[in-house]
Structure 1
Amino acid sequence: MIWRESFSEKPEWKAVVKKTYQLKEHFVAVNGKEISLFEGKGIISNAPFITDGGTLEDFGNHIRTMPKRKSIILLKLRRRIEINPEIKYALDEENFSFYLDLRKGKETVWKEDIKSKTRNQVRKAEKSNFETKIGGAELLDDFFKVISEAWRDLGTPTHSKNFYRNILKELDGNGTFNSRLIVLYLNGEPASGACVIFNDEVIHHPYAATLRKYNKLSLNNGLYWRIIEFAADSKISFFDFGRSRKSQGTFDFKKSWGAKEIPLYYYYFNVKKLQNMEDSAVAKTLISVWKKLPLALTNFVGPFVIRKVLK
């Protein structure tokens, strides 16, 4: 593996989840060792609201026992494991994360890894003369203004402002991981932003967005380059671009930055067959409806939807 630790395995992240959503925590015995899982509606997950659940190295390469429950148990892993054939499960191998090696420095990454088209889009964004601010809770209102509107326009519910506030509070550098907000401004108005979580090894940007009206300025590319600059200047070794499926346009976008694929293995226990609801007709209809809802309504309802889905 590129890096061993995942912030999803840390008590700080669990505190964020419990404080924001009051999810029920289960301590489940797997191979005679306890694992912490959080329960939503009909599903229990080791990595709620994020895409990478780490490696669970302590369990070895096999899962010999898994508690039988009515709820689905979802383990999101960065490695393949062997499962006792008597255990009922289904495996989703369609998800990938991506990483960019920053150890050679941002100048080398710019020249050797990032494709020329993407470099041109970064230059285009910089011609708009956006301003960059990096900080904490003082940027929260501006960050939330961007991500709530941008995700609504994508048909995706966003977390509450309190969720992001708890990230900044709990992942504050006193533990293993730290967090910051990076916000880009045009004419004094917030236009693009990311919530980044990082340690000395890796930086993640699990929550990021750019307002739709600025897409023509390639501002999203400007945001990604600012994240890379921040990470490289902070001597962070890798940038984790997050999850995409091969059928998604973001898959090719991340590869255009020179990012390399990391397979993700999603093990669903207590089911025999996967049902991909994300690409279903019902999901597409709900996305279309969500895009048309007033922002105040989606900001209010979104956290309730996210809590129920828990993926």
Structure 2
Amino acid sequence: MDNGQLTPETVPTTVGIDIRVESPQTLNRDAWDAFVSEHEAATPYHLSAWILGVERAYGHQCYAVMAYRGSTLCGVLPLTYIRRPVGRGVLVSLPFCDVGGTLAGDEVVHHALIEAARGLAADCGLNGFELRHRGAAIPGDGETAPIKVSMQRALPGDSDTLLGQFKAKLRSQIRKAEKNGLTGEVRTDVSALDAFYPMFAENMRRLGSPVHGIDWFRELLAAYGDRFRIGLVYYGDQVVGGGIVLMNARSACIPWASTLPEYNRLAPNMLLYWRLLSHVCDDGAEWFDFGRSTLGEGTYRFKKQWGAAPFQLDWQQWTLDGLNENEHPAAPSPIARWVRELVERGWRQLPLSVTRWLGPRIRKYITL
């Protein structure tokens, strides 16, 4: 493969469909993003900004796979190839988030994009690739098994209507945060990101998880522009909560949010989510993606109180021979959970300066 281009030997052809592959650096981002903005299944992660940020921040090779009928763009698939220092690499759509996968006008285009991904996997020396699609809504409460789900809620046309849809208890919790002296704002500037990051990095250490570096967020901000929103909650001059929202034409998502635990008694999370929800609602978003949660657990119930409902995560494992129907993300074994808990406890003991230096060097290889 030369300069990210698929070779005729590795790309099965689909009659009437022309496949083109470019890097985020050379991609016509306006054309890609215009297609994404019109597709009903698109997420903010499908925008070209995500793979551009991945490539610039972490150096992973990214591919913008496009399907054309004549001169008309009719499908896209963003992919990232992560070479790991130990073991086999992975080709995934998309890393560092819950969803990705194909956006296609019809099944013929969808399968043409799948065939292109198969060719890329072969060229990368891999046995397959992973697509992270969002599945259907889970009927009822859906709390029958401890599985990971995507929490989504539809938004009305304005924030006043949204507030009126909340239960009285939730509205009371929002007012409580304001009565406690908390204030909030939503910004798009670098200084807001710099205010958010130290709190976020400290919280990630507390959770025992390697943190993304500040350069990762700066590259995303540069790539997304005003579609990258930073919510901040203050107690006086102190930042006590913050979250980052990404937007496209129809939806918004919140990949990262943190609060300082010593201020949680003041309910900064309630004000943070209200400020962000009301902001994107008034900005025209029709859906809000609260992110991934385990059915029945604390974060699931927190998101559910805002009106979010669970949707399946259809994470597909493809081999060079086709879809592996029997391989799905499984719950970790007791031994795996024990090892993870041990590592997390050790990570919490490290100095913050060490976790901020070492974390990004590890995090770049963790695809979730």
TM-score between the two structures when normalised by the length of structure 2:
0.71
Aligned to 2:364: 307
Residue 185 of structure 1: SS of its match in structure 2? strand
Residue 12 of structure 1: SS of its match in structure 2? helix
Which residue identity is paired with 1:39? Y
1:55 Cα offset (Å): 4.7
Q: How does 1:103-182 map to 2 (within 5 A)?
A: 103-112=156-165, 114-135=166-187, 136-173=189-226, 178-182=227-231
Moved more, 35-44 or 273-282: 273-282
Aligned to 2:44: 7
Aligned to 2:247: 198
Which residue identity is paired with 2:134? R
- Contact 2:252 2:288 survives alignment (8 Å): yes
**Residue 34 and residue 221 in structure 1: after superposition, are their counterparts in 2 closer, same or farther (change >3 A)?**
closer
- 2:115 counterpart of 1:78: no
Aligned partners of 1:213, 1:8: CA distance in 2, in Å? Answer: 32
Equivalent of 1:39, from 78, 81, 85? 81
- 2:354 counterpart of 1:297: yes
**Residue 248 and residue 268 in structure 1: after superposition, are their counterparts in 2 closer, same or farther (change >3 A)?**
farther
Aligned partners of 2:128, 2:364: CA distance in 1, in Å? Answer: 15
Which residue identity is paired with 2:301? D
Aligned partners of 1:111, 1:200: CA distance in 2, in Å? Answer: 24
Equivalent of 1:223, from 272, 292, 315? 272
Aligned partners of 2:64, 2:158: CA distance in 1, in Å? Answer: 42
1:229 Cα offset (Å): 1.6
Residue 147 of structure 2: SS of its match in structure 1? strand
For 1:84-121, what per-residue CA distance to the aligned partner results, in whole angstroms no more than 9, with x for missing partners?
A: xxxxxxxxx93322222222432332232x33333332
Residue 39 of structure 1: SS of its match in structure 2? strand
Aligned partners of 2:297, 2:102: CA distance in 1, in Å? Answer: 25
Aligned to 2:60: 23
- Contact 2:51 2:62 survives alignment (8 Å): no
Which residue identity is paired with 2:356? N
Aligned partners of 1:277, 1:70: CA distance in 2, in Å? Answer: 24
**Residue 116 and residue 156 in structure 1: after superposition, are their counterparts in 2 closer, same or farther (change >3 A)?**
farther
Aligned to 2:30: none
1:275 Cα offset (Å): 4.8
Aligned partners of 2:98, 2:288: CA distance in 1, in Å? Answer: 15
Which residue identity is paired with 1:96? V
Residue 156 of structure 2: SS of its match in structure 1? coil
TM-score between the two structures when normalised by the length of structure 1:
0.83
**Residue 127 and residue 226 in structure 1: after superposition, are their counterparts in 2 closer, same or farther (change >3 A)?**
same
Which residue identity is paired with 1:155? G
Aligned partners of 1:71, 1:248: CA distance in 2, in Å? Answer: 35
Moved more, 182-191 or 262-271: 262-271
Aligned partners of 1:16, 1:26: CA distance in 2, in Å? Answer: 12
- Contact 1:8 1:54 survives alignment (8 Å): no
Residue 143 of structure 1: SS of its match in structure 2? helix
- Contact 2:241 2:268 survives alignment (8 Å): yes
Q: Which runs of 5+ in 1 are unaligned?
A: 81-92
Aligned partners of 1:300, 1:204: CA distance in 2, in Å? Answer: 27
**Radius of gyration: which is bigger?**
2
Aligned partners of 1:121, 1:155: CA distance in 2, in Å? Answer: 29
**Residue 133 and residue 111 in structure 1: after superposition, are their counterparts in 2 closer, same or farther (change >3 A)?**
closer
RMSD: 3.0
- Contact 1:43 1:71 survives alignment (8 Å): no
1:256 Cα offset (Å): 0.8
Residue 197 of structure 1: SS of its match in structure 2? strand
Which residue identity is paired with 1:160? G
1:295 Cα offset (Å): 1.2
Aligned partners of 2:106, 2:191: CA distance in 1, in Å? Answer: 41
Which residue identity is paired with 2:100? G
- Contact 1:53 1:77 survives alignment (8 Å): yes
- Contact 1:4 1:55 survives alignment (8 Å): no
**Residue 52 and residue 35 in structure 1: after superposition, are their counterparts in 2 closer, same or farther (change >3 A)?**
closer
Residue 241 of structure 1: SS of its match in structure 2? strand
- Contact 2:157 2:282 survives alignment (8 Å): no
Which residue identity is paired with 2:158? G
**Residue 134 and residue 309 in structure 1: after superposition, are their counterparts in 2 closer, same or farther (change >3 A)?**
same
